[in-house]
Amino acid sequence: MTNERDVLITEVALRDGSHAIRHQFTVKQVTDVAKALDEANVPFIEVSHGDGLGGSSLQYGFSLTNELELIEAAASVVKQAKIAVLLLPGIGTMPDLKQAAKLGAKMARIATHVTEADVSPQHIALAKDLGLETVGFLMMSHMAPTEKLVEQAKLMESYGADTVYVVDSAGALLPYQVKERIRALKDSLKINVGFHAHNNLSLAMANTLVAIEEGATRIDGSIRCLGAGAGNTQTEVLVAVLDKLGIKTGIDIYKMMDIAEELVAPILEKPQEITKDSLVLGYAGVYSSFLLHAQKAAQRFGIDSRDILLELGNRKVVGGQEDMIMDVAAEISNRGLVHEH
């Protein structure tokens, strides 16, 4: 399969898109979309709570449907695609990963903050032991200089990862920064290099193309931009652009267009576009999945959600610190720390 493809795409809408719809996926939605993506020849389809295995909780948001049920349902309808799961050590556990593998997951993406790869060795080792294709996922990659990113990627490689990703969780990286990071990883690692974009500054496609130019062969996309914040690189558009560039993905463009229109558009609560809040996520360098949490906090305290997001950016708050959002909102409200418009 790999021989006919220059770039391998992982479709993340059934995981990253969970943030955009408050983790309310139904079994039917997941099976319909997974089956159709499989028929369109998408090689990897990620399915889990937006915050990965074990993410369904008060802090991150409860899932409508147990994600293990969703993973099993997706795995039962695919013929060639591999089902991928995300795991953040400290949220997801080793038993969660074992269970996911038992239910049909074939790829594990082990995600840590960009400077905390050292929390992932056991999870990467377990994924390898379970026979899963194993990916190291360095989130919030804009928050570390390139040398630090290389050091952390090398750790993940040493633990046994098959691929390491530069993950632009905030959609804050600019094209020259992506270029520098991907080139440095390509020069320093013997394994595959991947890239995961968010579209908060309208740069997901540009950043993805730069990453591919520099040698990234594993790329994430979300169909119809169904992902956190303003979504990810739009998969059906990416497939068309890569086709025009003569880069093979092996994915059927017409089928992807149809899935986007007929199956995914109806799932979206509103169209994925760059709103003032998602723009601030990219501008301030804030985790894309904080969007709905910040809007909820703003409503509760009667303040501007942008003030919350900018303050979270100033404090360099990262994924896993969702409980800070309400605290920051309360402080802004109490101190009258409101932005002068």
Bind-site residues = 15-16, 169, 196, 198, 287
Phi and psi at residue 314, to the nearest 5°: -60, -35
CA 28, 29, 33 angle in degrees (round to 5)?
Answer: 115
Name the binding residues for substrate. 15-16, 169, 196, 287
Catalytic one of 19, 49, 113, 123? 19
Phi and psi at residue 210, to the nearest 5°: -65, -40
Q: Is 19 a catalytic residue?
A: yes
Tokens in use for 144?
Answer: 């570390």
Name the binding residues for Mn(2+). 16, 196, 198
User: What amino acid positions are annotated as catalytic residues?
Assistant: 19
